[in-house]
Amino acid sequence: MTTFVDRVELHVAAGNGGHGCASVHREKFKPLGGPDGGNGGRGGDVTLVVDQSVTTLLEYHHSPHRKATNGQPGAGDNRSGKDGQDLVLTVPDGTVVLDKRGNVLADLVGEGTTFVAGQGGRGGLGNAALASARRKAPGFALLGEPGEARDIVLELKTVADVALVGYPSAGKSSLISVLSAAKPKIADYPFTTLVPNLGVVTAGSTVYTIADVPGLIPGASQGRGLGLEFLRHVERCSVLVHVLDTATLESERDPVTDLDVIEEELKQYGGLEDRPRIVVLNKIDIPDGQDLADMIRPDLEERGYQVFEVSAVARTGLKELSYALAGIVAEARAAKPKEEATRIVIRPKAVDDAGFTVTYDEHEEVYRVRGEKPERWVRQTDFNNDEAVGYLADRLNRLGVEDQLMKAGARAGDGVAIGSEDNAVVFDWEPTMMAGAEMLGRRGEDHRLEAPRPAAQRRRDRDAERVDPQREYDEFDPF
């Protein structure tokens, strides 16, 4: 059974906002009680939080669909709906959040680091909050905004100071087991280690972590033998340790060739050129291993490598290796820039920034309005209520949408779409929408919607002119 997962696809959905309530206060001897509809509650967020006690993404491998709770709708007597409960998902330290296209959304390193993967929807306002001097008793309320839903990819990259790399069965698991208290699986066959193992080493006053990366083979940088999954765990390490087997039983292999092959794979993977390297000649307790180590050590030192001869079984040469790694780790930590407290940056809105754009879509023959506020207002509008639609028109007018449509060349009756191409609300524009509550008729109605809609009629006529080939064939089929 799989116990370690370092890459999962997660489907998150934040909670929807609760709908506002349209209610009128009714009490004996108080015929004009006024609106008392409460606001809807906010939908819950989906938040990722780093937890040091979590070491795998296995939980999300089995349950990839996660959803926060919705906000409750408002009620009469000015009772607001309850907010949805936030969903907190714990992830290991070193988790990278990506979208479906591979773009990095967040790099979660450090205990307590958070990332909001899904923003909860806003609750709709009740008619009590929508009342004004000109609209004393609104017959509508705003709908709750849908919560954010998206698919993300979580990738775990091991956070360690030292990475042990090398061929399978080079003795990396044995080495980490004697340097630290880690207890990895050790056996005399290749690919014994299928997941990275972490250990903590204390050398003098320096404490550092060491990772045993599963064995690499030629072609690992192109994904052969799960190479990409293994190489991912090397990226954050400060020091790379080449563990070379001086007692390999394969006649076509030798330590120097193994080093060249692994270095080529690291080069192909990229981003690791600046990491210091150390070479460890392992298994010198075997007579042939010591003889081979004596032969190749001058060649490796001539290349500029710092070479250590060790034996994980006999536990020789380990102290010198651990203190040398501690010195390099200490230098790497000192060279890192000091972390500064996050500064709060306030960026005022530009004078000419309207918060929305108006463009003409020649294919659909509509003027398309895109912007956070217009699109949110559309999502919160109940189009079954004429008064709510009139209120939306007033808000868009006050925002300046009508002025921008005029500047873009729109005329009365032209189609206007608010939102993206796949999820837009289309209506016919009337440039005389200057007034608000004083133009309303009975409560819950807006006579501006009773006017003819020439743009919609033109679209219907255009669709009717399109001839269906199958229908034409059926009409003229002599049989």
Structure token digits, residue 54: 């979590």
- At 410-425, the pLDDT tens digits run 888 888 999 888 788 8
Q: Which whole number is the average pLDDT over 324-347? A: 79
Residue-level pLDDT at 38: 94
Contact between residue 112 and residue 50 where contact means Cβ atoms under 8 Å apart: yes
Residue-level pLDDT at 342: 63
Q: Is the pLDDT of residue 189 over 60?
A: no
Residue-level pLDDT at 431: 74
Q: Specify the higher pLDDT residue, 379 or 354.
A: 379
Euclidean distance between CA atoms 88 and 161, whole angstroms: 29
Residue-level pLDDT at 221: 45
Q: Is the pLDDT of residue 199 over 60?
A: yes
Residue-level pLDDT at 193: 45
Q: Which whole number is the average pLDDT over 392-403? A: 88
Q: Is the pLDDT of residue 187 over 80?
A: no
Q: Is the pLDDT of residue 399 over 50?
A: yes
Q: Specify the higher pLDDT residue, 434 or 171.
A: 171
Chain center to CA of 56: 18
pLDDT confidence band for 52 (50 / 70 / 90): confident
Q: Give the lowest-confidence range in 78-92, 242-256, 339-353, 465-479.
A: 465-479
Residue with tokens 């980490």: 176
Instruction: Tell me the average pLDDT of the chain.
Output: 80
Question: What is the model's pTM?
Answer: 0.72
Q: Is the pLDDT of residue 125 over 90?
A: yes
Residue-level pLDDT at 470: 54
- At 93-119, the pLDDT tens digits run 888 899 988 899 998 888 888 999 999
Q: Which whole number is the average pLDDT over 268-279? A: 82
pLDDT confidence band for 294 (50 / 70 / 90): confident
Tell me the three-class secondary structure of the chain, residue by residue.
CCCCCCEEEEEEECCCCCCCCCCECCECCECCCCECCCCCCCCCCEEEEECCCCCCCHHHHHCCEEECCCCCCCECCCECCCCCCCEEEEECCCEEEECCCCCEEEEECCCCCEEEEECCCCCCCCHHHHCCCCCCCCCCCCCCCCCCEEEEEEEECCCCCEEEECCCCCCHHHHHHHHCCCCCCCCCCCCCCCCCEEEEEEECCEEEEEEECCCCCCCHHHCHHHHHHHHHHHCCCCEEEEEEECCCCCCCCCHHHHHHHHHHHHHHHCCCCCCCEEEEEECCCCHHHHHHHHHHHHHHHHCCCEEEECECCCCECHHHHHHHHHHHHHHHHHHCCCCCCCCCCCCCCCCCCCCEEEEEECCCCEEEEEEHHHHHHHHCCCCCCHHHHHHHHHHHHHHCHHHHHHHCCCCCCCEEEEEECCEEEEEECCCCCCCCHHHCCCCCCCHHHHCCCHHHHHHHHHHHHCCCHHHHHHHCCCC
* C-alpha torsion sign, points 190, 192, 194, 200: negative
